[in-house]
Amino acid sequence: MDGQILRAEYSDIMQKSFIDYAMSVIISRALPDVRDGLKPVQRRTLYDMYELGIRYDRPYRKCARIVGDTMGKYHPHGDASIYEALVVMAQEFKKGMALVDGHGNFGSIEGDGAAAMRYTEARLQKITQEAFLADLDKDVVDFGPNFDETEKEPSVLPVRIPNLLVNGSDGIAVGMVTSIPPHNLGEVIDATKAMIRNNTLTTHDLMKYVAGPDFPTGGIVVNQNELETIYETGQGKIRLRGKVEVEKCKGGKERLVITEIPYTMMGANIGKFLNDVAALIETKKTTDIVDISNQSSKAGIRIVLELKKGADVERLKKLLYKKTRLEDTFGVNMLAVADGRPETLGLRQILEYHIDFLFEVTTRKYRNMLDKEQKKCEVQEGLIRACDVIDLIIEILRGSRSREQVKECLVNGVTDGIRFKSERSRKSVAKLRFTEPQANAILDMRLYKLIGLEIDVLQKEHEETLKNIARYTDILNHYDSMAAVIVKELDHYKREFGRPRRTVLENAEEIVLEEQKVEEMPVVFLMDRFGYVRTIDETIYERNREAADAENRFVLHCLNTDRVCVFTDRGKVHLLKVLDVPYGRFRDKGTPLDNLCNYNSSEENFVAVMALNDIRDTVLTFVTRQAMAKQVEGKEFDVVLKRTIAATKLQDGDLVVAVHAASEQAHVVLATEKGFFLRFPVSELPLKKKTAVGVRGMKLSEQDAVEAVYWLEGDRSTEVTYEGRTIHLNRLRIGSRDSKGTKQSR
């Protein structure tokens, strides 16, 4: 086959491909549809369960069967995503209303994962079957081909409740994210009914019905006044708090019991909360807590904090809200697919879209039912007429040779080839003119239908059919009639499946925590060569001075209110509050520096540790492997808002070798890997800002680098060993900055 080369700009192809991919993820994977509130994987899973007949009143079926069937027919994106969606729809602590009835281990609120799908079973919930999947046989929604065009799947489920609000949604697409909180079913239904009756209602009016989100974990929303703006714009932040109760114990003691948690604290964050409380105790932020226990079970959340006698309960509550995730923020971004495109929607817009969808589904349902009743009416009228001329019809049947001949006679009055008893009968037949469906019904009619009682039943059925036609026509032709039908259904769902609100709404002031004044005292900061840090009392240090100096790389005398500066070879300085460092016994192991600040032991190494109070009024000298050097005033590192800042600027591939607070009279000695030593006064180094690179302190030969830096202060003699030879640094000739230095031979 002849080929043709098409030339195109690579960037244009990449841009188009990325846009196509992004829209596919947005529409087909990550975002829910505003009409049914479901993502494609959720919709396909529920529809597959419906097709498999896994109803709420039938036995459970293995989740592996459901996942496999869904993947094979509708969602070819791997079993993990399907099973995860199935599990989430069964978890009542994640959804405002579970859509799947799970049997087996479907995980827990504390973050435990569900069992493998070969062990768990599931079936549809009653509300899912009644409000999500009913009437699919009545052509209420459009169906389209599946991925390989071997099956048909609904483009949207005929959901009768505003599921997007009831269950909420969260998902990450390409360049956008959706985060919709769950709401109370009864409240949302009331708002929907109010909008149906009066579509001019504002967001303020609707909030008389939908007071705010209703999280399955309960909790307290503490910024109620901001909710109207959030529901108007579809974006904002909801502040959540857990519910804390005070219980009296024996001996006059009290305990704090957390019975409800913020929605955002589910899963692993419960464990993190317990760790945060333990950290408050370790860092002496509170001394009122004597024990922590997590007594949560299937019955609900119960986290118990045992308090010492006379504990300040109110201050402790404020401390928990301020320093842990017991108060957290839920970011709202009500993004959904509307009319085929992603759109950020407010409360009113979501309800408008859903009400339009309700009327569309109801219209299609009753149009389908009206069509069936009209066809039924036509057949009934034919049968009633046939009963009145039954003798003539029997005569036609006896005189005909085939079914088609009888049918032609009944419909078109064709009598050719049919034997009649008289010419009068032949003329009467020409006037019958039944329709084709009526003729087929007459031919299929059984003889017992000619009994008098059966004829009465037929006439009563016909009267009922006429009533249905009149009712369906009225519903289709009048807004109020259709609205009444929809409202009646909504009332049924509220009565059958509604439940009381779980989340409390209120306006609370920002927590103001008055820090307890710490008694200032001298301590000794110890840091070993592995980066484990701790502080001990000065008297303990004095008793163990020799062991402490031998076992630790850095030993600093400082105040417990001071901060420690950890300088690293990557040109950073991490500022660490001494109060954050564990205080204890001499033989305690301590805590890794990584856990207390932004230091990363896998990417950087510490080169110097100093107390901020000691360097604030001094000048620090920096030297790097590429022999760049400078002096920086110590007060530049006294910052309040940040815990990690740049200590110096480095060239590509360079590392800090030494940081030292040297006096102006001191000398510095630079030693290189190839054995060059250069001694010069520190005063020759210029004073620079911490963001500067510095100046060259020494000329390096090719492939050489500064390996060590030594400081000579006063008359103190300093000796080092280089390749087995002792070098007296005080005897080195004093050179000048930016010279090559002296080669030390073996």
Extended strands (E) in 578-697: 591-592, 606-611, 619-624, 628-633, 644-646, 656-660, 667-672, 676-681, 695-696
Q: Single out the catalytic residue among 60, 74, 119, 722.
A: 119
Handedness of CA 686, 690, 696, 701 (dihedral sign): positive
Question: Residue 553 has which token pair?
Answer: 């790389």
How many other β-carbons are positioned within 10 Å of the β-carbon of residue 283? Answer: 16
- What secondary structure, in 3-state letters, does 279-316 show? HHHHCCCCCCEEEEEECCECCECCEEEEECCCCCHHHH
Question: Residue 483 has which token pair?
Answer: 């609205």
The SS3 of residue 328 is strand
For 466, how many CA atoms within 13 A lie in the half-sphere containing its CB? 8
Question: Residue 159 has which token pair?
Answer: 């959901």
Q: What are phi and psi of 555, to 5 degrees?
A: -130, 115
| Element spanning 235, H or E | strand 235-241
Question: Residue 618 has which token pair?
Answer: 């001094």
Residue 97: alpha-carbon gap to chain centroid: 17
638 CB burial (10 A radius; 0-12, 13-18, 19+): middle
Please report where in the chains the tokens 């498999």 appear, as a residue. Answer: 52
Q: Which residues pair with 678 in a beta bridge?
A: 670
Distance CA 393, CA 279 (A): 95
Distance CA 18, CA 542 (A): 66
Edge to edge, the sheet with strand 254-260 lists 243-248, 254-260, 303-307, 289-294
Which residues, at least 6 apart from 616, have a Cβ–Cβ distance to it below 8 Å?
Answer: 634, 635, 638
Nearest partner of 180 among 39, 365, 55, 390, judged by Cα: 39
Nearest partner of 578 among 563, 556, 597, judged by Cα: 563
Kind of pairing between the strands at 327-333 and 706-712: unpaired
Please report where in the chains the tokens 């009444």 appear, as a residue. Answer: 484
Question: Residue 416 has which token pair?
Answer: 């050719």
- Taking only Cα atoms into account, the Rg of the chain, rounded to an integer number of angstroms, comes to 41
123 CB burial (10 A radius; 0-12, 13-18, 19+): buried
Distance CA 499, CA 504 (A): 14
Active site residue 50: no
Question: Residue 86 has which token pair?
Answer: 């199935």
Which residues, at least 6 apart from 365, have a Cβ–Cβ distance to it below 8 Å?
Answer: 135, 138, 140
Contact assessment for residue 155 and residue 143, using Cβ atoms and an 8 Å cutoff: yes
Please report where in the chains the tokens 């995730």 appear, as a residue. Answer: 325
How many other β-carbons are positioned within 10 Å of the β-carbon of residue 513? Answer: 12
The SS3 of residue 252 is helix
Which of the residues are catalytic? 119
